[in-house]
Structures are given as C-alpha cells and as structure tokens.
Amino acid sequence: MLIVGCGFIGARLARHTLSRGLETLVLTRSEPGATTRSDLAGAEVIVADAADPAIIRSKIEGGTHVVYAAGGLMPAESEHNPALDAALTFPPLMNVLEALRPTRGTALTYISSGGTVYGQPRRLPCDERHPTIPVSSYGKVKLTAENLCKYAAIRGLPVRILRCANVYGEGQPADRAQGVVAVFVDHLLRKAPIVLFGDGEVVRDYVYVGDVANVVVSLMGAPPEPQILNVGAGRGHTLNELIALIEQISGRRLDVERKPARSFDVSAIVLDISRLRALVGFEPTPLETGVSRILEAHAGGGALNPVRGPSHARVTGLA
C-alpha cells in the first residue's frame, strides 16, 4: 500500500497496515516528527512532493493500492484563502491520478469529508445519495477532488471515495483549527478556555481514527461498488454533549468562551453508514470509548491518572 499523506489519518493508517503485515510506503511532503517516525518503523517513508511525476511513477507497481490521505488547508484556513487551498490540493492529486492511469492492477482510495460535502442536510442521517451542496470552501475543495477521482474512474481506474465524518483519536494535533475532540481534551489538560462558536447545539458525527484505518484495509478485498461510502458512527452529538462527556469521563470542568456562530459551519450532520455496514459488517467505536482512549493515552504520558473500569468511567486525580 502506498499512502499519500502522513498526517493524522495517514500515519494511523500506516501503523494499521504494518500491523497487518502489509508492505507499506508513505509519501509525505514534510519530514515526520520523531514519534511518527518511530511508529512507522518497518515502512518506507519517502519525503517528497506528490506533485512530482517521477516520484509517483517510481513508487507505483502493479498490485499497489494507493490511499490518498493528503489535503490542503484546515477548514477555517480554507475559508480565508480558498485559492491557496485549491493550489495545495489539486496539483498533487491530479498528478497521482495521471500516474495511475496506465497502471494495471492498481486501485485508489480517496479520503474525503462527509462532514462538509453534503452542506446543510435536507434529511438526517445523510446517505450517499444525498445532494452535495457544500457551504464551506473546504467542502467545495473536497467535492471537486472527488469529481477528479470520478473522472479517473471513468477512464478505468478503480476508485473508492470514503466520506469520513469528524475523525478523532489518540495523537491528533490540537494546535490546528480542526479536530474538536483533540482541542477540547488539550484545553482541559492545560486548564485553558475553549472557544465555542454559537450555542453549542450544532450536531456532528464523530468517527474513531482506528475505525477509519480498519475500514480502508477491510475494503481492499470488497467489491468495487458502491464507489462512494460514508464512514462515520451513524450517530450525532452536539458540542454541548461532547463537552459534558469529556467532563464526565475526566472529572474536570471545561472553561467555555462563547463566540458568535460562523457562517460556514453546518448546523447538523450525521452520516448514514448502512452501505458500509452491509459491505464489511462495520460497527463503530462508541464516542465515550474513543474519548476514554485519548485520556488514557495522555495518562500514559503522565498528564492524567489512568482510566480504570469501563470505558465511561471517570478519570480521577485531575483537580
């Protein structure tokens, strides 16, 4: 498997494929940190630009499965500079698609955003047939990338598009304008206030990063259709509910600073995962279990006392 992108999802996927004994290559624009490098022991890590045709061609052989997990800007950054987001996103993807065109026995999985491409839902949960009318620049860029992949499919490339909900889990960076679970936990541990846009009643579908990695590998042996699959938990939580859950598990209170709602935020999104369940028997990790794992990971580094008991148990010793 060739994984393009070594961010949060790409790095976790690489760890998963290595644990399954798959030959794993990772292509990343920037040098991974020491921890990521250590986690990827056994993988071939190539630090290069995916927009370089020679690099891509040299790493693709018949039978290679390519997972495109690279992106451009974060959602808020994309809103402020959509042209830069497009410039960072499209050339590398188009180069990969072009390099794959003459290759036989190679398939592509594209990691898209189920949280943004549907726009303001006309119905919940959103299935894959729901109209795609994104309201954010980030969602529009992702949908355009999907269409590029679909065009490559018309020309004969086996393509799978995974529309992922809000992905979260251990190791997610908390210093970016994306990944609300990571940001909330980070601020909890630093006793810093979180910024909440709007009244906290926006609804999101949160999917554990380990589930996404498992889905990608499980689908490698699945039929090529359907081409588009939602990957989520199939259940929505408001931001207020997420805050309450983190407080319940941790035993700490979050300090909340409220600001006006943002125009590009979707009010509610929950993904229908019926297709995925029927195809690979997918059962998502409950949000309380995933949040507990994040807190346990911090506990391992000395930031918290370990979680004991069931997944919804409180973490003591935080005051």
Q: Amino acid identity of 283? A: E
DSSP string over 177-239: SS-HHHHHHHHHHHT-PEEEETTS--EEEEEEHHHHHHHHHHGGGS-S-SSEEEES-S-EEEH
Structure tokens at 268: 């509610």
Q: What pTM does this model have? A: 0.91
Cβ neighbour number for residue 85 with a 10 Å cutoff: 23
CA atoms of 243 and 185, how far apart (whole Å): 9
**pLDDT tens sequence across 17-34:** 999 999 999 999 999 999
pLDDT at residue 301, rounded to an integer: 56
Quote the tokens at residue 28.
């990343």
What pLDDT, on a 0 to 100 scale, did the predictor assign at position 313? 30
Residues in Cβ contact with 276 at an 8 Å cutoff, skipping those fewer than 6 apart:
215, 229, 230, 231, 282
pLDDT at position 311 = 33
Domains and CATH numbers, the chain: 2-237+260-300 (3.40.50.720)
pLDDT tens profile 172-208: 998 776 789 999 999 999 999 999 999 999 999 999 9
For residue 133, what pLDDT band results from cuts at 50, 70 and 90?
very high
Q: Residue 228: beta bridge partners?
A: 161
